[in-house]
């Protein structure tokens, strides 16, 4: 894939040294799970941007075995954690792009991805870092191209400030419309859901998650 030209939206890409088992999975299993150059025709596709440790991606893949669930994440230890779950649970419908999701998205065919998930993106709270937030108008345009009309973009955040930012971008988006009737729509997680390590930690700190389900306009 071509070198990225995106402003970096993620933090570290490497944590503690991988265990021998995780290193083996990175060497042997990860290459087998590369995103195929041609997506299988007739198979519904979901993409999770920044899957962290992969808890939600695993729950989705298990709940929707007919769907191909693609995850993109640059953090090596998160990818290794997901590989362990895939091996332990014998999951066959996950594909992984270890790197910037935007590079992958730019290479995917038009209207090919029914569901896009962006769950708890890095909040970059400092004013000088706001430009690093992955959700911006360029990102919405990037994913709009790969989603068919009626495609779903599922967002989540536990930063009040990022929630406002998301809604402001959606309000001005020609590509997406936020679907919300009443407050349960942003208080309740989607039907298929798995609380991640990240979500557990921030909930314990008193932060409240918000969920925004959006539709790709016609």
Ligand X SMILES: C[S@@+](CC[C@H](N)C(=O)[O-])C[C@H]1O[C@@H](n2cnc3c(N)ncnc32)[C@H](O)[C@@H]1O
- DSSP 8-state class, residue 18: P
Which tokens go with 165? 């930012």
Closer residue to ligand X in complex, CB, 102/216: 102
120 binds ligand X (CB under 6 A): yes
71 binds ligand X (CB under 6 A): no
Residue span 180-209 as binding mask against ligand X, x where in contact by CB under 6 A, dash where not = ----------------x-xx----------
The full 3-state SS of 160-191, as one line of letters, equals HHHHHHHHHHHHCCCCEEECCCCCHHHHCCCC
**Interaction residues for ligand X, span 164-183 (CB under 6 A):** none
Taking CB under 6 A as the criterion, the residue among 18, 33, 47, 50 binding ligand X is 50
CA dihedral (182, 187, 192, 198) in degrees, to 10, reads: 160
Active site residue 122: yes
Residue 133 class from Cβ within 10 Å (0-12 exposed, 13-18 middle, 19+ buried)? buried
Active site residues: 122
Please give the residue ranges that form the binding site for ligand X (CB under 6 A).
9-10, 49-52, 72-75, 78, 100-102, 119-122, 134, 196, 198-199
């Amino acid at each position: 894939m071509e070198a990225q030209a995106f402003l970096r939206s993620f933090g570290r890409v490497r944590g503690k040294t991988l265990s021998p088992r995780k290193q083996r999975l990175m060497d042997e299993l990860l290459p087998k799970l590369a995103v195929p150059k041609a997506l299988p025709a007739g198979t519904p596709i979901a993409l999770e941007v920044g899957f962290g440790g992969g808890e939600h991606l695993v729950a989705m893949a298990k709940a929707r075995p007919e769907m191909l669930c693609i995850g993109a994440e640059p953090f090596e230890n998160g990818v290794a954690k997901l590989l362990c779950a895939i091996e332990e649970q014998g999951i066959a419908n996950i594909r992984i792009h270890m790197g910037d999701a935007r590079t992958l998205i730019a290479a995917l065919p038009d209207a090919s991805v029914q569901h896009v998930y962006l769950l708890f993106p890095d909040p970059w709270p400092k004013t000088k870092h706001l430009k690093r937030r992955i959700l911006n108008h360029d990102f919405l345009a990037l994913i709009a191209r790969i989603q068919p009309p009626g495609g779903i973009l599922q967002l989540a955040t536990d930063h009040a400030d990022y929630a406002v930012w998301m809604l402001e971008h959606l309000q001005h988006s020609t590509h997406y419309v936020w679907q919300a009737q009443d407050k349960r729509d942003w208080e309740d997680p989607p039907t298929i859901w798995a609380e991640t390590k990240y979500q557990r930690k921030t909930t314990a700190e008193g932060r409240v998650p918000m969920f925004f389900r959006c539709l790709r306009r016609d």
